[in-house]
Structure 1
Amino acid sequence: MLQGNRRKSKVKIAVIGGGVVGLSCALRLAQGGHIVTLVERSTRRDAASWGNAGHIATEQVAPLASIATLRSAGDRLFARGGALDLPLAAVGDWLPFAVRMIAAARPKRFAAGKRALATLLADALPAWRRLVTAIEAPDLLSEAGHLVVWESAATAASGRAAWSQADTGTASFGAATAEQIAALESATTVPLGGAIQFHGTGQITDLGRLAAVLSAGFCAAGGTIVEQEATLLREDGKATIPGLDADCVLVTAGVRSAPLVAAFGHRAPIIAERGYHIRASATGWPHDLPPVVFEDRSMIVTRFGDQVQAASFVELGHVDGPPDPRKWERLEQHVGDLGLSISGPFTRWMGSRPTLPDYLPAIGRSRRADNLFYAFGHQHLGLTLAPVTAEIIAGMITGHPNRIDMAPFDLERFGGKGGRR
C-alpha cells in the first residue's frame, strides 16, 4: 500500500485524535492534497494539548526515565511538598509503569533515548516556524526563550551547576538581563536568589487560538472533522473504522491510544501523567516576561494574552479518575507564598499527558497492519514536537521517509501479542 503510483495520488486518511499532534498531522496531510478525516471524541478542547504551559521545551533532551529522576523521586513527592504524586488508589496504574521506567533508566538505554530525543528536538523549533508560516499566524510563536529562577542563593548555585552539566541540545542559557530581573522583582514580593535565561526555546502565545487556527486551516485545506468515539477494527489484516472509508489510519489519541492499537497486538504501556493549572487575569503581570520556571517549586508561570497561568504536578494515575483539589490549592499557595502579582478568582484545569515508560514517543508505521500508523506518547513534549512529528508522519504515509532514524520510536520496543507482518 501507498507504493508506486499511489504515492502521487490522493490518499484517504483517517486521523484518530484531535490534540495538537493529531491536528498538526491532519493539517499537514490535508495541505499535501490528501483526503483527510479527523475523528475526535470531544471538541471541547479540554485535553492536555490546550491546557499546558505553552512552552516549546527544546532544552529537555534528557528523558525523564533516568537514574537521576529515580534518585530524586522521594524528595519530590507531593506529601513532602513536591510535585510528584503516586496516589495509592492508582497503584495498579503506576506500579507496572514504574517497573518499566526503572528498566528504561539503565545507563545504556537512557543514553540511547537521549540521542533519539535530541534528533527530534533539534528540528522542533524550525518545524514550528514552518507551521506558523503555513497557517499564516507567525505571531503565535514567540522565540523569547524562558526564565528559570530560584528562591535562595544556595538553590540558585546548585541549579545553575546542574544546568551547566546537562545536555540541553540546541538550547543554551546565560544570566538573566537587568530588565528581566526588574520585571521579576515587580511580579513577586519575595527576594529571589538567582535567575537564568534560556535561548533557543519558545512559547505558543495563545493555545486556544492555536487550536482554532489549526482547525480552520485543516478545514480550509479540505479536511473534515467528525466528533465521535472512534472504534478501530482489524479486517483482512488492515485497520478500519466502521462507517468511514479510509486507505490508512493514523492513531494520535494521546492517553487513549493504547486500546486502539491493542486490537492489532501492539502493547503500549501508556499512563496518564496528570498535570494541573490555575488561571487568572494578567493584571499586574509584566507583559514582557517569557515563561518563568520557579524551579524550587516545579512550577511554571506563563502569560497568555490577558490571562496568566501557573502550572505544575506529575500525578501518575488513570485518565478518567477525579481531579485532586489539593493540587489546585497547592498552586494557589505557591502563588501566595511568592507574592506573585496574580489574583483570583482562579479557573482550574487538569489534563493528562500521554507518557510511555521510556519517555520517548511512539511514532511510526505498524508492522502488524499495512495501513496503520501512530504518533502518541509525547509526554511533556507534545506541544514541542507536534509539527516535527507531523512532518515525519506525512513522509511515512506518502512514501518520503524523514532523514531521522525512527527505530527508537517504534512501538515494537514494547513487544506485543501475535506475529509481525
Structure 2
Amino acid sequence: MSKTAVVIGGGIVGLCSALALQDRGFRVTVIEADREGRAASWGNAGHVAIEQVEPLASWSMIRSAPRRLFSAGGALALPIRDAPRWLPFAKGMVRAAGRFEAGRAALDSLLARTMPAWRGLVAMLGESALLKETGHFVLWESEASAAAGLKAWGSADIGTARFRPIDEDERAQFETLLARRPAGGIRFENTGQVADLSKLADTLSQALQAARGEIRHARVSALTIEDGSARAILEGDERLDADVMVVAAGARSGELMRSIGTHAPIIAERGYHLHAPSADWPELPPVVFEDRSMIVTRFDNGLRAASFVELGDIDSPPDPRKWKRLRAHIDALGLPIGSDAVKWMGARPTLPDYLPAIGRSERASNLIYAFGHQHLGLTLAPITAQIIGALATNTAAPVALAPYDIERFAKGR
C-alpha cells in the first residue's frame, strides 16, 4: 500500500468508501467523532429504498407542506428557534423544484445501480444475510387515503422497483397484528432491508481494520489547502496529510467544506425513533404507515418505529414531543413496542435539491467529497463508494458525475 487516504466520517458512506479505497490499494484512516453510534447511518429504518427516485424538492411536496406540519399532526417540523437554518434551505428547495426532472434523472442513475452494489458489498464482507431483498409494505388506514395513495404510487417514477396490491393472506395477517384494520395496502417486491444495522457497522469496521485500516475517534475542526493539497486539522491542531482526502462527514460536511471556501448549503434533517430490543412481531419486511409518515422495521435485534423530518441545527436539543407522538402512533396501532423502548434522534445530511454531493473538489487535487444523501444514505452508500474508488484512482465512474458536483450551489451556477 504505497498511497494513503483519510476518510472524514465513519458513517455508512464513509466506511463503505474507506473499504473501496482499501480495495484499490490505499492505506486508509477513518476519522470519526461519534463514539456512541448516534449517526443517522445507524439509527435509520434500514430500508434500501430503490423506489425513491423522485426528489423531495418538487412542487407537489412544497404545496403539501402545510398539511404535513407537525402542528397539523404531520411529520414535518420547522422549529422557530432554527428558522435561520431552514429558511435559506426552503428557498433553495423552491429553486430546485424548477429542476425536478433533472434531479429525478440524477437519482434514477444512482438507484438503478443500488441493489447490484449492495449485493457486491455484502458478498465482499462474507455476510450476505445482512441484506434482505424481500421488499416492503405500504399501508393506509382509510378508504380515501388508500385510493389516493395507490393513485400516487401508480403515477410515480419508482425506477427499477415494482409493487402489487397486498393479497388476502397479507391483509389477514395485518388484521391480526394491528389494532386498526388496514383499508388498503401495497407490497413492493424487490426493495431491500439491512437485517441488523449494528452488525453492519461492526462488520464494516472489522473488515477495514483487518486489512490494516485504522479508525481514529477524533473531530476534524477544519480543512486547509496548502500547495494545492487539502489537509485535515484535528481539534488540538494536529494536521493530517494524505494522497486522497475524503469528506463524508454527514450533516457536518457543510462546515468543513466552508472552511476552504466551498458553499455546501446542507441542513440537519433530524429524525426520531423508538426501538424495542425484543418484540413479539413476525419476520415481516418493513411496513410504512403512510397516513402517519412512520415506518416500522423488524431487525434481528428488535423492532423500530421511525418518523419525522425536523429541519434545523444539528446541535439543537431533541424535541421530546416527537417521541410522544411516536408513542401515540404505536399505541393506536397496537404495535408491540413497550415503555422500555430506546429513544434515538439523529440528523440526515440534506441539500436543498435532495441530491447528494459526490465529486472531486476544484480547490484541491486530492480532495474528494461524498455527503448530502438525505434519506438515501444507507441506500446509496455502496454505489457512492464505487464512485469514490473511481475518483481516487482516476478511472471511469459508474455514472456521470456532473449532477452531483457541489459547485452547483456556487453563485451564478
Give the alignment partner of residue 349 of structure 2, picking from 343, 354, 358: 354
1:187–1:284 CA contact under 8 A, matched in 2: no
The within-5 A match list for 1:211-360 is: 211-230=201-220, 231-241=222-232, 242-287=238-283, 289-360=284-355
Structure 1 ranges of 4+ moved more than 6 A:
none
Q: Would you say 1:203 and 2:193 are equivalent positions?
A: yes
Q: Would you say 1:414 and 2:409 are equivalent positions?
A: yes
Determine the C-alpha separation between the residues in 1 that align with 2:88 and 2:230. 28
1:15–1:26 CA contact under 8 A, matched in 2: yes
Determine the C-alpha separation between the residues in 1 that align with 2:83 and 2:320. 19
Query: Could you say if the C-alpha distance between residues 63 and 410 of structure 1 is closer, same or farther in structure 2, counting changes exceeding 3 Å?
Result: same
**Cα distance, 1:281 vs structure 2:** 4.1
**Cα distance, 1:404 vs structure 2:** 1.0
The residue aligned with 1:5 is none
The residue aligned with 2:235 is none
Deviations 1:89-126 (A, max 9, x none): 100000000001000011xx100000011000000111
**Cα distance, 1:181 vs structure 2:** 2.1
The residue aligned with 2:102 is 112
Amino acid at match of 1:394: G
Query: Could you say if the C-alpha distance between residues 243 and 14 of structure 1 is closer, same or farther in structure 2, counting changes exceeding 3 Å?
Result: same
1:234–1:263 CA contact under 8 A, matched in 2: no
Determine the C-alpha separation between the residues in 2 that align with 1:374 and 1:177. 44
The residue aligned with 2:90 is 98
**Cα distance, 1:189 vs structure 2:** 1.5
Gaps of at least 5 residues in structure 2 are 233-237
Determine the C-alpha separation between the residues in 2 that align with 1:339 and 1:403. 45
The within-5 A match list for 1:111-150 is: 111-150=101-140
Q: Would you say 1:378 and 2:376 are equivalent positions?
A: no
Using the TM superposition, name which of 243-252 and 112-121 deviates more.
243-252
Using the TM superposition, name which of 253-262 and 172-181 deviates more.
172-181
**Cα distance, 1:33 vs structure 2:** 2.0
SS of 1:257's partner is helix
Amino acid at match of 2:320: P
Determine the C-alpha separation between the residues in 2 that align with 1:282 and 1:302. 12
**Cα distance, 1:282 vs structure 2:** 3.9
**Cα distance, 1:31 vs structure 2:** 2.3
**Cα distance, 1:42 vs structure 2:** 2.0
The residue aligned with 1:35 is 27
**Cα distance, 1:10 vs structure 2:** 3.2
Amino acid at match of 1:236: D
Using the TM superposition, name which of 141-150 and 216-225 deviates more.
216-225
Amino acid at match of 1:342: I
Give the alignment partner of residue 163 of structure 2, picking from 173, 177, 198: 173
Q: Would you say 1:46 and 2:38 are equivalent positions?
A: yes
Determine the C-alpha separation between the residues in 2 that align with 1:167 and 1:192. 25
1:265–1:416 CA contact under 8 A, matched in 2: no
Give the alignment partner of residue 56 of structure 1, picking from 34, 48, 56: 48
**Cα distance, 1:14 vs structure 2:** 0.6
The residue aligned with 1:3 is none
**Cα distance, 1:202 vs structure 2:** 0.3
Alignment: residue pair count: 407
SS of 2:341's partner is strand
Determine the C-alpha separation between the residues in 2 that align with 1:281 and 1:227. 27
Determine the C-alpha separation between the residues in 1 that align with 2:19 and 2:355. 23
Give aligned-pair identity as a percent.
54
SS of 2:138's partner is strand
Deviations 1:309-356 (A, max 9, x none): 000000001000000000000000001111223323221000000000
Determine the C-alpha separation between the residues in 2 that align with 1:321 and 1:51. 18
**Cα distance, 1:285 vs structure 2:** 1.0
1:14–1:37 CA contact under 8 A, matched in 2: yes
The residue aligned with 2:181 is 191
Deviations 1:225-250 (A, max 9, x none): 11111132111121012443311200
Amino acid at match of 1:266: T
1:11–1:247 CA contact under 8 A, matched in 2: yes
2:223–2:260 CA contact under 8 A, matched in 1: no
Amino acid at match of 1:275: G
Provide the aligned C-alpha RMSD in A. 1.4
**Cα distance, 1:260 vs structure 2:** 1.2
Amino acid at match of 1:316: L
Using the TM superposition, name which of 81-90 and 277-286 deviates more.
277-286
Determine the C-alpha separation between the residues in 1 that align with 2:269 and 2:86. 9
**Cα distance, 1:139 vs structure 2:** 0.4
**Cα distance, 1:307 vs structure 2:** 0.9
Determine the C-alpha separation between the residues in 2 that align with 1:402 and 1:171. 23
SS of 1:49's partner is helix
**Cα distance, 1:32 vs structure 2:** 2.2
Determine the C-alpha separation between the residues in 1 that align with 2:97 and 2:362. 26
**Cα distance, 1:306 vs structure 2:** 4.0
Determine the C-alpha separation between the residues in 1 that align with 2:215 and 2:66. 44
Deviations 1:272-317 (A, max 9, x none): 0000000114432112x10000000000000112410000000001
Determine the C-alpha separation between the residues in 1 that align with 2:153 and 2:197. 28
1:253–1:376 CA contact under 8 A, matched in 2: yes
Q: TM-score, normalised by structure 2?
A: 0.96
